[in-house]
Amino acid sequence: MLSRTVLSLALAGLAGRTGGAAPPVDQQYLFEARQMQALSLSVHIPLVCFGIAFPVMILYAEWRSLRSGDGLYRTLARRWSKIMLALFAVGVVTGTILSFELGLLWPVWIQDFGNVFGLGFTLEGFSFFVEAIFIGIYVYGWDRLSPRLHFLSGLPIAVAGVTGSFFVISVNAWMNHPTGFTLSDGRAVDAHPWSALFANPFFWSEYVHMYFAAYIVCGFLMAGAYAWAYLRGRRGRYERTALGICLSAASVAAPAEGVVGDWAARDVAKYQPVKLAAMEGLPATTRGAAEHLLGWYNGHAVVYGIEIPRLLSLLAFHNPNAVVKGLDIVPLADQPPVNVVRFAFQIMVDVGALLALLGVIYLFIRFRRRRLPEVTWFYWAVIAAGPLSVVALIAGWITTEVGRQPWIVYDVMRVDAAVTGAHDIPVGYGALCLVYLGLAGAVFWLLRRFSRVPLPVDDEPPGGSGAG
């Protein structure tokens, strides 16, 4: 086609690129750009967890109030919905930063591959539309919509939480296992976005894993607040009910997360062997590979760790004698930083195991004794579990994203080929750090305000004090 030839000429203007692997610009601030991207994602992702899980928990409470006529559940749902709205506002703005930033920092990535993965973001946009529209109706409609209608107006929020994360994760899965296009002169042509995003075998484990993680994070963080209240002597029916819902949501998700994580690990072993080798610190391709707990990778092997023979082969391929590929299948320049990936992975798994244990303990007591646990350490553990689950969440993403290095599109485009040529990155990075610090302060302040609104007077109009 003629227009294609013209386009190639125009593209030749893209700073002397010579195919996918050559760095087209000399960006001395690549490291800062990556840090900046990671920072913004780490700020956004805990809020996303609330976007996914919180509407469901709130609707559950409202549904209980509809069924039983118990005003307590309605109060609960109503108070939570105000927190949801405020966190949603922060999720909206941090997400907007991300959509700017992906373009600002990695324009060549969008230029060359936006035609393949962009659809995921476009569809995600519609989910956000639905979420934002109905969150407005739900939170501002408590007084003037009939109870049933009000409940129904909340359902689209929950659905949009599912679909929104579905579409975003599909993009990330594509970056990790890119398919559905032909590579020509370093850019994607002949793109098939539907199959690239949604027929991607790497996608499903990643999505399900994230979905459960959202309930763990949201559940334990909320439960932590009520556990704190419990320890300070606020143990009324309201606090106990709230604690029960939050803790139950997190406790059923936490043990399940380990099973899904095993599935995710096998997908990594299949599609990204180098990442798996980095997660495990496996220098060379090995039959019957051992698993190492803790320790340090010194460039040749894991030292000072606890070695469990053949366990890695068993976990990754369900066969103690399976061959696991090592880092040496690619040159050193194509290997991710092993210790970062490995520590992040171990932190996630160890924290995950602790959280699963805590969840099982809770469910056990709940079903055996038909009540909340009474020992103090349990409540301290729940308070700790909130921040810890965020740590696991971020650690998991560091495993995924740093483990993909040096590729932005795995095995197709390197990060240094994707980065912007603009030289204002450090200024932006510094400014963004300050902005996020302020944001963190604001969120903390907001949540404290919410927890201090006195309980029995819930008859204020929703916009009066709680709506954000």
Partner 1 sequence: MLADVPMVFILVGITAYTVLSGADFGAGLWTLIPGGGQTDAATTRDHTRHSIGPVWEANHVWLIFILTVAWTCYPVAFGSIVSTLSIPLFIAAVGIIFRGTTYAMRSQLERGEGRGVRLVENLFALSSVLTPFALATVIGAIATGRVPVGNARGNLITSWLNPVSILAGVLAVAFSGYLAAVYLAADARRLAERSLVHDFRIRALASGVAAGALALAGLLVVRAEGAQTRALWHGLTSGAGLAMVCLCALAGVLTMILVWLNRFGLARASAALAVAAVIAGWAAAQSPRLLPGLTVRQAAADPATLTATIIGVAVGAVVLVPSLTLLYTLVLRGRLDTGGSSGGGDPFVSSRETAAKVTARPMRPAAAAFAVASLVVGVGLMVFAGPVWAAGVGALLLLACAVTVFALATSPPAG
Q: Among candidates 288, 172, 162, 170, which has minimal Cα distance to 214?
A: 162
| Measured torsion, CA atoms of residues 71, 72, 75, 80, in degrees rounded to the nearest 10 | -140
Residue 464 binds partner 1 (CB under 8 A): yes
DSSP state for residue 289 in the 8-state scheme: P
Min dist. Cβ of residue 229 to partner 1 (A)? 14
Q: Among candidates 382, 453, 464, 389, which has minimal Cα distance to 142?
A: 464
Q: Which of 27, 65, 153, 165 binds ligand HEM (CB under 6 A)?
A: 165
**370 φ/ψ angles, rounded to the nearest 5 degrees:** 55, 35
- Stretch 166-185: interaction string toward ligand HDD, x if CB under 6 A: ----------x---------
Footprint of ligand HEM on 308-367 (CB under 6 A): none
DSSP structure string for 12-23:
HTTTT--STTS-
Report whether 97 contacts 40 (CB < 8 A). yes
Partner in contact with 371, chosen from ligand HEM, partner 1, ligand HDD, none, beta carbon below 5 to 8 Å by kind: partner 1
Number of Cβ within a 10 Å radius of residue 361: 14
- Stretch 99-118: interaction string toward ligand HDD, x if CB under 6 A: --------------------
- Stretch 361-380: interaction string toward partner 1, x if CB under 8 A: --x--xx--xxx--------
Report whether 92 contacts 84 (CB < 8 A). no
Q: Between 120 and 336, whose beta carbon lies closer to partner 1?
A: 120
Residue 258 binds ligand HDD (CB under 6 A): yes
Residue 467 binds partner 1 (CB under 8 A): yes
Residue 96 binds ligand HEM (CB under 6 A): yes
Q: First CA to last CA across the chain, in angstroms?
A: 52
Report whether 324 contacts 269 (CB < 8 A). yes
Residue 210 binds ligand HDD (CB under 6 A): yes
Give the whole-angstrom CA distance, residue 297 versus residue 284: 13
**Amino acid identity, position 4:** R
Helix 273-280 / helix 376-403 crossing angle, nearest 10 deg = 130
Residue 60 binds partner 1 (CB under 8 A): yes
Partner in contact with 135, chosen from ligand HDD, partner 1, ligand HEM, none, beta carbon below 5 to 8 Å by kind: partner 1
Residue 217 binds ligand HDD (CB under 6 A): yes
Number of Cβ within a 10 Å radius of residue 283: 17
Q: Between 180 and 261, whose beta carbon lies closer to ligand HDD?
A: 261
Tell me which residues touch ligand HDD (CB under 6 A).
176, 206, 209-210, 213, 216-217, 257-258, 261-262, 264-265, 268, 275, 348-349, 351-353, 355, 389, 392-393, 396-397, 399-400, 403
Tell me which residues touch ligand HEM (CB under 6 A).
34, 37-38, 41-42, 44-45, 47-48, 50-52, 87-88, 91-92, 95-96, 98-99, 102, 106, 128, 131-132, 161, 164-165, 168-169, 171-172, 210, 394, 397-398, 401-402, 404-405, 408, 415
